[in-house]
Amino acid sequence: MFFADAEHLPYFYLALFSVALGTAFFKPCLPSMLGQLYPRQAKNREAGFSYYYMGINLGAMVAGISSGLLLQRFGYRIALSSAALGMALGLSVFVAGRRHLIAQFVTEPEKATKYSKAKNSANLANQSKALRYLCLSYLFVACWALVYNLAISGTLTLYIENYTQKTVLGYDIPTTFFQSLESVGILLAAPILIFLYRFLGEKRSPHFFTQMNFAVLLSTFALSFLTYMSFKVSSVNLGTSTHFTPFMWYQMAILILIVSVSEVMISPVMMSAISVLAPEKSKTTFQSFYMLVIGVTGLLAGKIGAFSLSQPFKTFFYVTLVAALIAAFYAFIRKSMVTVALQATKEIGCEKI
């Protein structure tokens, strides 16, 4: 990226390809390695993934602020170089601590053997059913991710920038502030939820399928909230009315914060579930597919968001209706999913996910 400009476009495309390829290797492997740090009977696995998710968003927030300041003062070359420096430092930390990860993997063969024996036992059918439920949960993740991408992507940014009253006491709130609310919401919600689950204890804390179900319901509520807000402008073409500001800044802030809470309740526990229920040699593949679901729904959300600029209420109403039906279906089969998952995890030596 440092050498890319209008006269050297091949460098630009090569850099983008490298970023995409590096991300494909990077993102799925991290949750897989994190899952291997916890014994199968560990009771704090979900808390570990929540802290991991907090770290991601803390890094994203700090990186966004620092690179933005460098971009304003020194230009994009220096800003992108700072990101490269940060990644180099992170890689150095990983290489320096890699021996601890390897040692952990070496000390786990007995558990891996027990897991293999469990898979080949008479309980294989129940574990296979739990795996099918895990695959089905990707559908519910896709439902949540669609709402997430609508609320966090450029679609909402356009509504905030052009159609939201952002002036408070004479100060116009920058649109970028709203984009950082997602990370703020996650950093605030994650420790609260971790404390709540620990306070409830292992027996009373909700199973990960239950948490995911609530996250889908919460995201559906957030989308219905956006549908309600868009009702007042159903007769106005937002694509041509650039001076019409029907939305208030606090409404957009509430919407983003609700979605960020649902994100804490679904993303870490989904990665945690994959680290336990997915086959030993396919955990990274399942994590990759999870990332793929987020990406594909992001593309779909972009198409829906573009259409919503001309018909906001109609668009959001139909998407909300579909999301509500999927959430209701999830609630209907959730009890069976939880029962099968608990039995399967018990058979492979994990008391509870």
The contacts of residue 125 (CB under 8 Å, 6+ apart) are none
pLDDT digits (tens, 9 = 90+) for 6-22: 777 888 888 889 888 88
**Is pLDDT of 191 > 80?**
yes
DSSP 282: G
Burial class (CB in 10 A: 0-12, 13-18, 19+), 44: middle
Tokens of 204: 């009373």
pLDDT of amino acid 325 = 94
**Phi and psi at residue 167, in whole multiples of 5°?**
-90, 125
Tokens of 85: 């420096």
Residues in the chain, overall count: 353
pLDDT digits (tens, 9 = 90+) for 154-180: 678 888 887 788 888 888 887 777 877
The mean pLDDT of 146-160, rounded to a whole number, is 81
Is 301 within 8 Å of 146 (Cβ atoms)?
yes
Instruction: Kindly indicate the confidence band of residue 181, based on its pLDDT and cuts at 50, 70 and 90.
Output: confident
Amino acid at 36: Q
Predicted model pTM: 0.76
- Helices (runs of H) and strands (runs of E) counted in the chain: 11, 4
Residues 16 and 80: their CA atoms lie apart, in Å, by 12
For residue 263, CA distances in Å to 49, 185, 217, 237, 270 come to: 12, 9, 12, 31, 10
pLDDT digits (tens, 9 = 90+) for 244-284: 667 888 888 898 899 989 988 898 888 888 887 888 778 88
pLDDT digits (tens, 9 = 90+) for 279-300: 877 888 888 888 889 889 988 9
pLDDT of amino acid 42 = 66
Instruction: Kindly indicate the confidence band of residue 74, based on its pLDDT and cuts at 50, 70 and 90.
Output: confident
Domains of the chain: 9-347 (1.20.1250.20)
DSSP 16-61: HHHHHHHHHHHHHHHHHHHHHTS-TT-S-HHHHHHHHHHHHHHHHH
pLDDT of amino acid 66 = 79
